[in-house]
Structure 1
Amino acid sequence: MSQSRKRIFIADDHQLFIDGMKLIFGRHSDYEIVGSGSDGHAILDFIACHEVDIVITDINMPGVNGIEATEKIKLINPSIKVIAVSMVNDYASVHKMLQSGADGYVLKNAGADELLKALEFAEGGEVYINKEISDILLKGFRFNQSSEAKRIKAIREDLTQREKEILGFIVKGYSNQQIADTLYISIPTVKTHRSNILSKCDVKNTASLVRFVMENNLLN
């Protein structure tokens, strides 16, 4: 058997899908299916003992799902190409799958030619998404931007004038003592304001607060 053939592992909890993949790749001399399984555990167990070039995986599977499996695959061997083939078409899932390191995303309503195209893209070092997936990502991104903008606006309106004043000093690196001296208030009062500001901005510490303020232009 030629060593140039790309070795594929397929993970899906529907055997009918796996059988269909075997028929598709059985007609292509560039690829060979070296293994299959019904969840992410099967992928990880297999690649620990066998050479694999490409993993084709569903997202929603029992045990370790496709997103979790992809993250682990890329940690174990970043050179393995991962193509998601799924019916899942919501923004959160698509975004998480690509963020986890997937090299392509193909919906199950696509044809075999599109899957083969995705493999070619991945082998060439590119990430494959078609127009439908691109539209899903764009709409989700715009929605998230809009939601985040509303959240920032609400935080800005919720901060009192005194809290904004103190926040400005915090961003400049003033200590509680310096803020208290500048505003002629007690240190406990400064601490109370600081605690309220952290709570309203939903951050845990001063470093995160300063970063949040700068990234979101909160004081302007």
Structure 2
Amino acid sequence: MENKTRIHLADDHQVLMDGMKNLLHTVSNFEVVGFSTDGSTIFKDVTDNKSDILVLDISMPKKDGIEVVKEFYQKGFPCKVIILSSYDDLKIIKEVMKLGASGYLTKQCAGDSIVEAIHAVTNGEEYFCNTVREKIFNTATKDKSKVNKYRPSVNSLLTGREIEIITLIALEFSGKEISEHLFISNNTVETHRKNIMKKLKAKNTISLVKFALKNKLIKS
């Protein structure tokens, strides 16, 4: 029997939760096991129903999403957390990711991204929707005059995140700096680097810089 990913939804807008529930129920290995409309009981709820994933709105009554993530951080995470928010404020994103959240989506892109996000987080990855990822990347490179404003789709083998990692490597960001600027762990950066090297059959960092220049990710 297939093991299902157990999902708990936390949002104070019932219509949004109903819509998300209906969408998630179309995925055979997903099961929505609980709901919360305020933040005060979420830790107990997800512990009791043994959730694997919590999809959590930032703006919750009684205890907001940031406070909930802090509680998880202090008590030990009973499940992985994906933040769902109307805001793409980098200060908030950085705070919840440092506290241990595994993903961040805006409500505007949740319908297109929530299934992908849950799959990614279940597999141990960190996930940002395109809107958030673009904002993070643009902020990371805003003082770098050598980055091209428009980055083409250069290789069908590479993901958007991998293109960003290559660009930052070519701009001489260290692994630690990439981690800090993109709000991902050092382990995630290293995993991306290894995957990129394998996909491109690159032998070293110089090969990645040459790839970035050839594909106009950065200016020569």
Q: TM-score range by the shorter chain?
A: 0.5 to 0.7
Residue in 2 aligned with 1:20? Answer: 19
Tell me the distance in 2 between the aligned counterparts of 1:74 and 1:116. 25
Kept after mapping to 2: 8 A contact 1:36/1:42 = no
Kept after mapping to 2: 8 A contact 1:82/1:103 = yes
The residue type paired with residue 126 of structure 1 is: E
Superposition misfits of 4+ residues, deviation over 3 angstroms: 74-79, 138-143
Count of residue pairs the alignment pairs up? 143
Give SS of 1:29's match.
coil
Tell me the distance in 1 between the aligned counterparts of 2:24 and 2:129. 21
CA RMSD across the alignment? 2.4
Tell me the distance in 1 between the aligned counterparts of 2:92 and 2:65. 10
CA deviations over 1:142-192 (Å, ceiling 9, x no partner): 78xxxxxxxxxxxxxxxxxxxxxxxxxxxxxxxxxxxxxxxxxxxxxxxxx
CA deviations over 1:2-54 (Å, ceiling 9, x no partner): 57111111100111111111111121221111110112223112124221100
Kept after mapping to 1: 8 A contact 2:51/2:78 = no
Tell me the distance in 2 between the aligned counterparts of 1:3 and 1:47. 21
Tell me the distance in 2 between the aligned counterparts of 1:66 and 1:16. 19
Residue in 1 aligned with 2:72? Answer: 73
Residue in 2 aligned with 1:86? Answer: 85
- The percentage of aligned residue pairs carrying the same residue is 30
Please state how far the C-alpha of 1:141 moved relative to its aligned partner. Answer: 5.7
Please state how far the C-alpha of 1:111 moved relative to its aligned partner. Answer: 4.9
Give SS of 1:16's match.
helix
Residue in 1 aligned with 2:56? Answer: 57
Please state how far the C-alpha of 1:139 moved relative to its aligned partner. Answer: 5.2
CA deviations over 1:114-134 (Å, ceiling 9, x no partner): 111111111121111134212
Decide which structure has the larger Cα Rg and report it.
1
Residue in 2 aligned with 1:136? Answer: 135
Structure 2 spans left out of the alignment, 5+ residues? 143-220
Distance 1:35 1:79, change over 3 A: closer
Of structures 1 and 2, the one with the larger relative CO (CA 8 A, separation 6+) is 2
Tell me the distance in 1 between the aligned counterparts of 2:7 and 2:129. 22
The residue type paired with residue 83 of structure 1 is: I
Residue in 1 aligned with 2:106? Answer: 107
Residue in 1 aligned with 2:157? Answer: none
Kept after mapping to 1: 8 A contact 2:46/2:79 = no
Q: Which moved more, 1:128-137 or 1:70-79?
A: 70-79
Counterparts of residues 157-168 of structure 1 (less than 5 Å): none
Distance 1:12 1:111, change over 3 A: closer
Kept after mapping to 1: 8 A contact 2:2/2:29 = no
Please state how far the C-alpha of 1:70 moved relative to its aligned partner. Answer: 1.7
Tell me the distance in 2 between the aligned counterparts of 1:142 and 1:84. 24
Residue in 2 aligned with 1:203? Answer: none
Kept after mapping to 2: 8 A contact 1:57/1:85 = yes
The residue type paired with residue 55 of structure 1 is: L
Greater percentage in helix: 1
Give SS of 2:15's match.
helix
Counterparts of residues 32-43 of structure 1 (less than 5 Å): 32-43=31-42
